[in-house]
Amino acid sequence: MPSLGLGLFRIVFGALMVWEVVFLYRIDFLGNFVRGPATLFNYDFLPIEPIGGPVLDWLLAGLLISAVLITIGYRVRWALVYFFLAFKVQQSGFGFLGEVWFQRLIMLGGLLFDLLVGFLLWCRRTRFVGLLLALGFNAANAW
């Protein structure tokens, strides 16, 4: 890959990430969307705790610094490693695996339910199973 194209991509990517982090600061992302609202989905049954306190503030400040370093081309490899790891932690607020795998599991389960429940309810042999799944789904959504 030509170095000009790679350098241009690095500069554009870094500038976009600086813009993204500045945007997160402008809308007070941590205050309005992470700390402020009541959670819509409760994680009390999981043995993990959200990252709290000033840790997320420091992660967001580190994101801005690493995005600037990526843009200007100073210590790019270290800045990229920090940026991607901290961006993931900052987005989930639960660490590297806490929310990601569970959220994907819930999404996959919902997708399978949506695709299969119609056929389960349509066929007489599986109608009872479909009704139980539909009741369980509606009971889970009522919490």
For residue 19, give both structure tokens: 């813009």
The pLDDT tens digits for 9-39 are 889 999 999 998 899 889 888 777 777 766 5
For residue 123, give both structure tokens: 């066929």
pTM of structure: 0.56
Sort 125 into a burial class: Cβ within 10 Å, 0-12 / 13-18 / 19+. exposed
Where do the structural domains in the chain lie, given as residue ranges?
A: 3-95, 103-142
The list of the chain residues with pLDDT below 50 reads 94-98
For residue 48, give both structure tokens: 């993990």
